[in-house]
Chains A and B, each alone.
Chain A
Amino acid sequence: MSGTTIPPLALSVEHLGVTLAGRDGPLPVLEDVSFGVPAGRTLALIGESGCGKSMAALALMGLLPEGLRCDTGAIRLLGEDLAVAPPARLRALRGSTLSMIFQEPMTALNPVFTVGEQIAETLRLHQGLDAAAARAGALEMLRKVEIPAAAQRLDAYPHQLSGGMRQRVMIAIALACRPRLLIADEPTTALDVTVQAQIFDLLKTLQRETGTAILLISHDLHAVADIADEVAVLYAGTCVETGPASRVLAAPEHPYTRALLACSPRLRLGAAAAGPAPDLLEVPGMVPPLGQRGPGCRFAPRCELAGADCNHPPPLRPAGAGRAAACWRVGDTTLEAVA
């Protein structure tokens, strides 16, 4: 099913489905989402806003907002299915084996506690350290995330730090217990361009050091090209393409991935990290809103290759070399001709 063959997987998401309780029955938010993150590697989840990337991340954490529930599929973290794990087990895993950093570092830290307290809290909770040991551990983490004058910053409150520094603190909290999987939901979107690069560098360095697998959600295709090993493309709540990052970005199979990349021309030419990251231009048309998705291929209304067969939803099918795509046109020669 999932085309990736690189074992072992730290995380394997299989046919995940999430629904929103609606007045007229449950509305599908995520449908049949499958991808895998190899241990120690980075998988990037890409797609336009509203495609369900963040929902997928929250589903993995067991932190779906009220009204949303994960009712089909499996989320295997090191073999254990989180989708059926009891809440207490999930809580024990969160922050230790599985952790997450968020898009908005300005608001993700509690304003009334010092950053030292907030890092130490995780250590005390999951590793049972006493106050002094947890404080020492927090200091070590601040050093690891390369915060200057870490000893002084330990007693700083979040409002005394810049956005980039706060995101470093978030990373310190997330990595304090050496998780096996780190979910990074647009970790740099709210930051300055120069700081963005620093944060990605830091994530790479720490990944090498700790062997943590990273699930990166990002708009920034340059960063994705730079640090992701694998890519999964989401469209309208479903996974349309997966595969090794270099190949998917160089030669996308799915028309949606092509359209997405076309909005980032320099990347297409292979000139990856150079210059400021361009904003992701809109793919023409709009992502269908919840409850208004058609029965067939979700992308068909915006797809220039759509035909009559697109009225049936295409499954995610192997497309060679560890890749998979959900499109009836994949392997079809007309695709190359049009492109």
Chain B
Amino acid sequence: MSGALLGMGGRVVNAVLLLLAVVIMNFCLIHLAPGDPAQVIAGEMGGASPEVLATIRAQYGLDQPFGTQLAHYVSRAATGDLGYSFYFNQPVSSLILERLPATVLLMAAALTFAAIVGTLLGVLAAYRPRGLGSLLVTIVSLAGHAAPVFWSGLLLLLLFASVLPLFPIAGMTDVTRPLSGIDYVLDVAHHLVLPAFTLGLVYLAQYSRQSRTSMIDVLGADYIRTARAKGLPERRVVLKHALRNALIPVVTLIGLQFAQLLAGAVLVETVFGWPGMGRLVLESILRRDHPTLLGVLVVSALLVMVANLLTDLAYRLVDPRIRGH
């Protein structure tokens, strides 16, 4: 484990630099966008009044030289100040923090579902290349890639709202019955099923495909022949010797696609009224609440980098060849 942690320091520094770059880019975007920067920051709905604009100019030091403004902007972001939402009348950071847990929960559920089911499907398909599992993987991976999440989400919503009312179709909790304790957890889990399934489907497709490919590769490897030459039962050859190796590229894929998963969550949240960052994005787009939108971008980048670090760590745990160096 300590060996796995070695060499992570460089990655953390890299992540901080990238985050800095995102903040600087946000600053540039505000200035590049058409219109007065103060107006851009205020947004259309919030800050038409001259008082608000004056406050913003003073706050952001917009009358000062460009370099000073940038330094100011960056140092504020460094202390966690992502600006103020004039629409919500709240600091952006607290707005996002409020919504963050719901999004993380949705993503974690979708990812777990996709990774486990996808890997199993892939293994099955690799083991019987001409079997039903393989056909299923092909269909699921093609369909999962091509179906827009907002559409598949709406179709599921249609199905479960009218035909098969098993799951709640909107929100995260039952607002009519305030619950607590285990009932609350179960209620949230119940609400989580459809959005997590919808979001997971896209990635299920990719993981099953990746795990099938890497499993086919691995099953042809010399060390699998060695395992068979040892007299191991076939199930052990596949589930122990092959799977452990086949998981390495799957872990890599999970890391690579985390950013896309986050973007997918935005769409899924809007479909199912899941009160996370995605809903916040939609609202801030509709209200032209630019500070919130840009803040979400920074926090997303931060999330992606945390996820990448975690993937890296998982990768080191799964693959001893990385660990040694």
Binding site for B on A (CB under 8 A): 61, 63, 91-96, 99-100, 102, 104, 107-114, 121-122, 125-126, 157, 159-160, 170, 173-174
Contacts and interface: CB of A to CB of B under 8 A. Distances in A.
B183 interface: no
A114 B222 CA distance: 16
B230 A122 contact: yes
B285 interface: no
Given A107-B221, A107-B223, A92 B320 contact: no
B229 A91 contact: no
B244 A112 contact: yes
Contact of A112 (B232, B319, B324): B319
B226 A125 contact: no
| Top-9 shortest CB links A-B | A95-B231, A94-B231, A95-B230, A107-B222, A110-B223, A157-B320, A108-B222, A100-B229, A159-B321
Contacts of B245: 110-112
A108 B223 contact: yes
A183 to B, nearest CB: 9
B225 A102 contact: yes
B131 to A, nearest CB: 14
Contacts of A126: 231
Given A94-B230, A108-B222, A113-B241, 7 more contacts: A63-B229, A99-B230, A108-B223, A108-B226, A109-B223, A111-B245, A159-B320
A111 B230 CA distance: 16
Contacts of A114: 320
A159 B322 CA distance: 10
B303 interface: no
B228 interface: yes
Contact of B320 (A95, A112, A121): A112
Contacts of B320: 111-112, 114, 157, 159
Contacts of B227: 110
Contacts of B223: 107-111
Chief secondary structure at chain B's binding surface: helix
A141 to B, nearest CB: 13
Interface residues of B, number: 20
Given A111-B320, A112-B320, A157-B321, A102 B226 contact: yes
A227 B64 CA distance: 87
A121 B230 contact: yes
A126 B229 CA distance: 12
B318 interface: yes
B218 to A, nearest CB: 10
B233 interface: yes
A166 B244 CA distance: 20
Interface string B210-250: 00000000000111011111111100000001001100000
Nearest to B228: A63
Given A94-B230, A110-B241, A112-B319, A157 B222 contact: no
B74 to A, nearest CB: 43
29 contacts: A63-B225, A63-B228, A94-B228, A94-B229, A94-B230, A94-B231, A95-B229, A95-B230, A95-B231, A99-B229, A102-B222, A102-B225, A102-B226, A107-B221, A107-B223, A109-B226, A110-B226, A110-B245, A112-B245, A112-B318, A113-B241, A122-B230, A122-B231, A125-B231, A157-B320, A157-B321, A157-B324, A159-B320, A170-B226
A113 B225 CA distance: 15
Contacts of B221: 107
Given A111-B245, A160-B324, A93 B231 contact: yes
Contacts of A63: 225, 228-229
Contacts of B318: 112
Contacts of A112: 244-245, 318-320
A119 to B, nearest CB: 10
B221 to A, nearest CB: 7
A170 B319 CA distance: 21
B289 to A, nearest CB: 49
A104 B230 contact: no
A108 B225 contact: yes
A95 to B, nearest CB: 3
Contacts of A61: 229
B201 to A, nearest CB: 30
A125 B234 CA distance: 13
Contacts of B321: 111, 157, 159
Contacts of A125: 230-232
Contacts of B230: 94-95, 99, 121-122, 125, 173
Interface string B94-137: 00000000000000000000000000000000000000000000
